[in-house]
């Protein structure tokens, strides 16, 4: 596992759920929160794939890259899948590429139609540079960010744990990690109703948190026409949806 710890203060820090190729909602969200040069975003992975109604992975890519140091990203399972396919595709001799299985989502062909091979490989390298988990201390509070599940920083798990939550012990959702507030995406907030907690705004289409208020699920279905892109400000817990 690649793990990173950062310390941020004196700015507004926002957590954003799975974007899934929806550049329109993402850009609209940045305008709505009036994202400025002193602010910071935590993106919970799955920037790519899906969004059959208006997919624009190229715009998602360049919008995030334009933010540069103002953005911290953890790896999502879709991001990893895309990066590995790009590497495999361009690592295969051109005459043999037709023998490869098709990429199962829409991102690869859209990206390939608009980017050069060099740009595609740069995109893959960028994705593969994302850590699986981030730890941040903000105004004296400790936070953990991962795509599907977080772990105590002293207890490293395998990649799938952070990417898909592939683990038989689901008590994580109810208990969280001692001493930290966790933010995750991946599963869709509707999945977690069986663990108690509450939907803090509008039912299954809103952010879920557990009874201890130390685990927040931020995937509210962006990438589906009826879903939303969720965002939460860590300083005052204000919530935004696009």
Q: Which of 31-45, 157-171, 227-241 has the lowest mean pLDDT?
A: 157-171
- What pairing do the DSSP bridges indicate for beta strands 228-233 and 215-217? unpaired
Domain limits, the chain: 3-241
pTM as predicted: 0.95
| Domain 3-241 bears CATH identifier 3.10.450.50 | no
Say what the pLDDT of residue 10 is. 61
Q: What are phi and psi of 231, to 5 degrees?
A: -145, 145
Each residue's pLDDT tens digit, 115-159 = 999 999 999 999 999 999 999 999 899 999 999 999 999 999 999
Dihedral sign (CA 148, 72, 183, 177): positive
pLDDT of 3 > 90? The answer is no
d(CA 125, CA 141): 32
Say what the pLDDT of residue 73 is. 98
- What pairing do the DSSP bridges indicate for beta strands 215-217 and 208-209? antiparallel
């Amino acid at each position: 596992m690649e793990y990173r710890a950062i310390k941020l203060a004196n700015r507004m820090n926002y957590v954003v759920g799975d974007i899934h190729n929806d550049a329109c909602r993402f850009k609209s969200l940045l305008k709505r929160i009036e994202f400025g040069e002193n602010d910071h975003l935590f993106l919970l992975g799955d920037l790519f794939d899906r969004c059959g109604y208006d997919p624009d992975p190229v715009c998602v890519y360049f919008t995030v890259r334009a933010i540069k140091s103002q953005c911290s990203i953890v790896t999502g399972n879709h991001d990893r899948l895309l990066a590995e396919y790009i590497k495999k595709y361009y690592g295969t001799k051109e005459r043999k590429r037709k023998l490869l299985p098709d990429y199962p989502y829409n991102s690869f062909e859209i990206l390939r139609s608009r980017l050069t091979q060099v740009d595609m490989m740069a995109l893959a390298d960028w994705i593969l540079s994302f850590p699986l988990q981030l730890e941040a201390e903000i105004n004296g509070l400790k936070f953990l960010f991962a795509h599907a599940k977080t772990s105590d920083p002293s207890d490293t798990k395998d990649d799938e744990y952070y990417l898909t939550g592939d683990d038989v012990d689901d008590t994580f959702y109810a208990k969280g990690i001692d001493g930290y507030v966790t933010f995750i995406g991946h599963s869709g907030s509707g999945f977690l109703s069986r663990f108690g907690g509450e939907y803090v705004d509008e039912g299954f289409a809103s952010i879920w948190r557990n009874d201890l208020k130390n685990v927040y699920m931020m995937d509210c279905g962006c990438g589906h026409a009826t879903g939303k892109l969720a965002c939460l400000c860590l300083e005052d817990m204000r919530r935004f949806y696009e």
